[in-house]
């Protein structure tokens, strides 16, 4: 399933609607926040809170029963475990991320995230978000 998701996202990231066919021209600009899906709005809000090192604002975007996957490995579920994973990093600051590419459909959103640390370390990751009850219910990091 993840290989299929990666292949589809890869095709979309590189400007194709299906592998091998160029994407048609876009007739209207990207939707403003009022027209965005719930999951897209949440992805934007959590990234903004992340970049401000606002742990409360960041966690407010996630469901109490949030499930986190690093690849196929599931981390301990729930908002308290989620908060604990980020608390030390947020207290120190010196990090950030940008999302040059975002694809969303229904309750799903996949971001190509470019991240950095004050130490100079940089990288990229695909992050898949799935909405649950108006919040981010599942997040998966695909490297």
59-89 per-position pLDDT tens digit: 999 999 999 999 999 999 999 999 999 999 9
CB 52 within 8 A of CB 127: no
Domain assignment present for 14: no
Question: What's 117's domain CATH number?
Answer: 3.10.450.50
Q: What are phi and psi of 123, to 5 degrees?
A: -170, -175
Q: How many domains is the chain built from? A: 1
What confidence category does residue 31 fall into, taking pLDDT thresholds of 50, 70 and 90? very low
The per-residue pLDDT for 120 is: 96
Strands (DSSP E) found in the chain: 16-18, 21-22, 62-70, 73-74, 95-105, 108-117, 122-132, 135-142
Residue 119 pLDDT > 50, yes or no? yes
User: Which residue range is the domain that position 57 belongs to?
Assistant: 36-142
Residue 15 pLDDT > 50, yes or no? no
Give the residue from 31, 3, 90 showing the smallest Cα distance to 55.
90
Domain assignment present for 18: no
Report pTM.
0.77
Which tokens go with 22? 């160029």
């Amino acid at each position: 399933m993840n290989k299929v998701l990666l292949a589809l996202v890869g095709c979309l990231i590189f400007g194709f609607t299906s592998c091998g066919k160029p994407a048609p021209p876009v007739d209207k600009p990207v939707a403003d926040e009022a027209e965005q899906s719930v999951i897209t709005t949440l992805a934007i809000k959590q990234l903004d809170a992340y970049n401000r090192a606002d742990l409360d604002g960041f966690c407010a975007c996630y469901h109490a029963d949030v499930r986190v996957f690093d690849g196929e490995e599931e981390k301990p579920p729930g908002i308290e475990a989620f908060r604990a994973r980020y608390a030390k990093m947020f207290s120190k600051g010196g990090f950030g991320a940008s999302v040059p590419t975002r694809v969303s459909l229904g309750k799903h959103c996949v971001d190509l995230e470019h991240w950095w640390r004050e130490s100079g370390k940089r990288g990229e990751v695909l992050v898949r978000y799935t909405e649950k009850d108006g919040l981010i219910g599942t997040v998966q990091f695909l490297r």
